[in-house]
Structure 1
């Protein structure tokens, strides 16, 4: 097979499609830049995506893009730096929450759950002496990881902290089956995003009720718009179905062929995972810790307090020695440190974007281009949402921003309340699926790249962007038109 190596990246027929799609996406960003009379938001996000694809550090790409976008909008360098620094504080709760949930996940692993799942998977593959059995095992892996991803924000609220614990031990299983890891990244990302789009439990309750519905009602004050909590999961069913279609395309078409990986020894930390069977009282406390973590998160809206309660109850259960608590907590924090650091930088980037004042301007420019067409209005709202949320990388953070703009715009184009929910909810999800700075893409990379055979941009971000963002735009548009 002919290959061309450029900037440490090998282009071949296997990744040519992904490369072309991303290049077209970048071209769209910069085309919009000129069509919208040079908007600094489009410039910043396009530059950030371009730098990330050129393998510039995501943190550095965020900082450089914030400086360029802020300066281009007319802000002084001093103002850009000040806004960026002030915005870092907005990312601190997210980073602390990830660190706390990482500690809780490491403590939970002391029960032997992760080791048990990995051992069972290795045993299943070892007994698979036919292509049919291997195919069954492969689907078992997909379903298991999907269920765990959904449970990580509902039943066992550890968010993405389970990935660095569960996935690395399974890499040998994937290697033996010659399973393309890009599928695994898509499966996990799908479970992480869909869980809060349609399940009003745990993170879904926070996103659908406390953020999406609350933001729409606040923005609809005086405009005659009032939506209820039961409407959100229904409105987002069609976009979520689009993500399912994208996942099936990834599994059956795009990445169906085998991919060879080397069995590289993993440099993992020995935390002395508990080998002894748990006593009945320990099992009860473990279950109580999981339930309490979920309940506290829902009641307080704080992942930090939920993780702390869960960690404390696990400490009391005796699954770890009292003297090991500090070591385990530090291990969990280190495990999630890089993801948290990128999320903090993304918060600073978002603060600069808000300070430019070009977010409302971007919407006004889009309206000027589309005229009175409802179909084009729906499409432009989704594309504008994609640009805004791709840069920030968090649907939870961007929904309040876009709701203030999209609610009056949606009413002006005579969209129904359900259609407005679908447009804003889908626009928010676009920032999680396929963004270089989203925890929904950073999480899978944290588990799949421990042996340095999985690239964050080309093996996680690009596949999830192609298979989730594109269907989200299509099915989100359909939802807006039929609801």
Structure 2
């Protein structure tokens, strides 16, 4: 059996059985390596060799977690939450509750979208904003699965469609890898090719609003460092926090380093006394601990990816599927999209998937006679498929990190499964329709 299917299948089954994601990735990688014919030493060497490439990401998230919690101590989240609380006058006022819900949805959606393009901090805003809102969400009986879907939409749709921030990186990766595979395309064509797929994600988000519109009750659990709405907030601290965010962004963009950007922001909070020296060590440690799980998963996912590449079974997976369906273009496109879904579900990163599939899909698509726009759409969609729903993706790990601060939000069943259903299925359908449309 194909080693990629074995590795990804075992990883997903174990995750659905609530086995720790890091363990699931490790066991899946070992099983995939052995299934491909590699011996245990070669498999372990490939896995361990891939871990190092995830170290920078893990440290970036740790620094972002520390910076985010430090910012939260200045009172910015409380200002936002208090503004929303003013809209909830009394428990029976359904109109005010509805307005408060809508405001929460819009704020989180806007922040998630901006985190990819306008202010490219990725998932760092989630532990900053979401935990202080948990008590309010519980009061309003908001289903956290809907919040997970809103956040994941904002973390994925912008980079696949808008050529700025992370979107610029992703779309440049598509163009570069397609060029290396033998097809030169223009950067400005990528948003055109991905527009229909982005519309599919919007349709999925609408479906999530319908599915999770009913109230869901949660226990009011006091969470350390998140229930501080009554603390005194100093205007100067909020001003310095805003300055720290702006300077951090200004440093991060030219350097391309989230680590340096976060470090500069933390130093500003230290220097201005917006972050108290006596509290700083505990605050930064708690913030880093909050994002540590995400970092470990991303490191493990890089090891998993290295094993998949070492097996060499991605290309046979595509070739065998193509032979099975002959020269039927429509079915071949569908098969390639599904292969992209499988690969990204296992790796957990659309950015890491593009180099793997572009070298294989581009020649096959050219042989099938697809247009340039159709091939761009095929590669872009196959890459982004699986980012939502993957247990190893930061687009699912980030929302879980924020929503599970009180232990009432399961990563697999409350984040991964809902986002898989409402985003991957529409992406396959709309992506297939888009490729056929661009034929």
How far off is 1:42 after superposition?
Answer: 0.7
How far off is 1:108 after superposition?
Answer: 2.6
Note closer, same or farther for the CA distance 1:270–1:466 as it changes in structure 2 (3 Å cut): closer
Note closer, same or farther for the CA distance 1:208–1:59 as it changes in structure 2 (3 Å cut): same
Task: Describe the SS at the equivalent of 1:452.
Answer: coil
Residue of 268, 271, 294 corresponding to 1:339: 294
Which residue in the other structure is 1:167 paired with?
130
How far off is 1:186 after superposition?
Answer: 0.2
How far off is 1:168 after superposition?
Answer: 1.9
Query: Is it true that 1:68 corresponds to 2:31 in the alignment?
Result: yes
**Cα deviation per residue 1:258-278 (whole Å; 9 max; x = unaligned)?**
211111222337999872112
Note closer, same or farther for the CA distance 1:294–1:482 as it changes in structure 2 (3 Å cut): farther
Matches within 5 A, 1:78-97: 78-97=41-60
Query: Is it true that 1:147 corresponds to 2:147 in the alignment?
Result: no
Query: Is it true that 1:56 corresponds to 2:19 in the alignment?
Result: yes
Task: Describe the SS at the equivalent of 2:86.
Answer: helix
Which residue in the other structure is 2:223 paired with?
266
**Cα deviation per residue 1:392-414 (whole Å; 9 max; x = unaligned)?**
00111111111111111111111
**Cα deviation per residue 1:154-197 (whole Å; 9 max; x = unaligned)?**
33333212212321221222222221111000000000111211
Query: Is it true that 1:191 corresponds to 2:154 in the alignment?
Result: yes
Residue of 218, 238, 248 corresponding to 2:196: 238
Note closer, same or farther for the CA distance 1:142–1:295 as it changes in structure 2 (3 Å cut): same
Note closer, same or farther for the CA distance 1:417–1:303 as it changes in structure 2 (3 Å cut): farther
Which residue in the other structure is 1:114 paired with?
77
How far off is 1:333 after superposition?
Answer: 1.5
Which residue in the other structure is 2:185 paired with?
227
Q: Which runs of 5+ in 2 are unaligned?
A: none
Residue of 249, 252, 255 corresponding to 2:207: 249
Q: Which is further off, 99-108 or 41-50?
A: 99-108
Task: Describe the SS at the equivalent of 1:336.
Answer: helix
Query: Is it true that 1:432 corresponds to 2:387 in the alignment?
Result: yes
Q: Distance in 2 between matches of 1:123 and 1:287?
A: 23
How far off is 1:122 after superposition?
Answer: 2.5
How far off is 1:75 after superposition?
Answer: 0.5
How far off is 1:128 after superposition?
Answer: 6.5
Q: Distance in 1 between matches of 2:429 and 2:353?
A: 20
Calculate the TM-score normalised by the size of structure 2.
0.94
Q: Are the equivalent residues in 1 in contact too, given 2:397–2:411 (CA < 8 A)?
A: yes
Aligned residues: 437
Residue of 319, 329, 332 corresponding to 2:274: 319
How far off is 1:288 after superposition?
Answer: 5.0
Q: Distance in 2 between matches of 1:204 and 1:274?
A: 39
How far off is 1:201 after superposition?
Answer: 1.9
Query: Is it true that 1:218 corresponds to 2:180 in the alignment?
Result: yes
**Cα deviation per residue 1:350-386 (whole Å; 9 max; x = unaligned)?**
1111111101111111111121111112111110000
Q: Are the equivalent residues in 2 in contact too, given 1:393–1:435 (CA < 8 A)?
A: yes
Q: Distance in 2 between matches of 1:119 and 1:133?
A: 14
> RMSD between aligned alpha carbons?
2.1
Query: Is it true that 1:478 corresponds to 2:437 in the alignment?
Result: no
Q: Which runs of 5+ in 1 are unaligned?
A: 1-37
Which residue in the other structure is 2:412 paired with?
457
